[in-house]
Amino acid sequence: MPSQSTATVNDVHCHFLSPRFLEALGREKHGAGGATSAQIARELGWDDPCSVELLADRWVAELDRHHVSRAALIGSVAGDEESVAAAVVRHPRRFVGFFVINPTAPDAAERARRSFGELGLRTACLFPALHRYTLDSEPVAKVFEIAATHGGAIFAHCGHLMIEARAKLGLPGVRDLRFGDPLALAATASQFPAVPVIVPHFGAGFFREALMAADVCPSIHFDTSSSNSWMKFIPGLSLCEVFRRALAVVGSDRLIFGTDSSSFPRGWRQVIHGAQQTALEEAGVEASVAARIFSGNFERIFGDA
């Protein structure tokens, strides 16, 4: 397989940690008065994003440095849709916008319609373990319905959930992993077959359940992002074997490369790309298959830049 350094790479999983995201953490950490984004960035050991515009420009420079063509930017707190939308408007050929939504919030439907419509974002992100709802509930189905109307997609975080910033700040985990069941997701996704569904980290520990869900629901895709440390819950499992099993069940058209990159100065996680490239080589995957995973499936779902 030729080196991926000379091939197109698109990343479906990058977090856009805007000033508004940091300010939301500041309010939770320090009370109503909160703290500035710069103060929270210092507490976390991160660079201050300064502004949406500067952060968007820094991401483009980072993608250029690593020869990454396009990236999905995730607005990583509910209510930060406008930050991501501004980044996409600034660099429309480089970014695809994702937004977090809590389907049980009173204004969820209105926010989803505006995000997919007026703001031009492409994917609604569901974190059921964080916001405590089931993926086969009516509020989730409503978000799917709105996504279908606007030609959008759904990103649904199943399985184990660890939010780095919250852990570093000593904030409560506020999570219930029982809600992140891929089988419940399949029940809803099957009602909306035209809506692409992305499950990050191969189901993040619910690997068997994610494979079963994807087997019965052809709209479910896996993103390959992060270190996939959930493998520690399944003794003897390697990243190479994860790819082999996923390819055997869902095929190469439903695996989408991602890194779970987030903060600076760490920036884009080249090590994740290298580990996945090595795992695919060990699995004997052909160059054409690797190309679909690293770039082609992203372009099929989100269109050409």
pLDDT at position 32 is 83
89-116 tens-digit pLDDT: 999 999 999 999 999 999 999 999 999 9
CA distance 268 to 125: 21
Do residues 222 and 254 make contact, with C-beta atoms less than 8 angstroms apart? yes
Signed CA dihedral, 11, 13, 14, 16: sign only: positive
Instruction: Report residue 239 as tokens.
Output: 């990243």
Least confidently predicted of 47-56, 166-175, 215-224, 245-254: 166-175
Domain that holds residue 195: 4-302
Candidates 229, 225, 190, 242; CA nearest to 298 is 225
Average pLDDT in the chain = 95
For residue 221, give the DSSP letter. Answer: E
Candidates 257, 296, 294, 286; CA nearest to 4 is 294
How many domains is the chain built from? 1
- Identify residue 293 by its one-letter amino acid code: I
CATH code of the domain covering residue 62: 3.20.20.140
Q: Is pLDDT at 239 greater than 50 in this prediction?
A: yes
110-166 tens-digit pLDDT: 999 999 999 999 999 999 999 999 999 999 999 999 999 999 999 999 999 988 899
Higher pLDDT, 168 or 5: 168
Other Cβ atoms within 10 Å of 173 Cβ, number: 13
5-42 tens-digit pLDDT: 458 999 999 999 999 999 999 999 999 887 999 999 99
Q: Is pLDDT at 175 greater than 90 in this prediction?
A: no
Q: Is 283 helix (H, G, I), strand (E, B) or coil?
A: coil
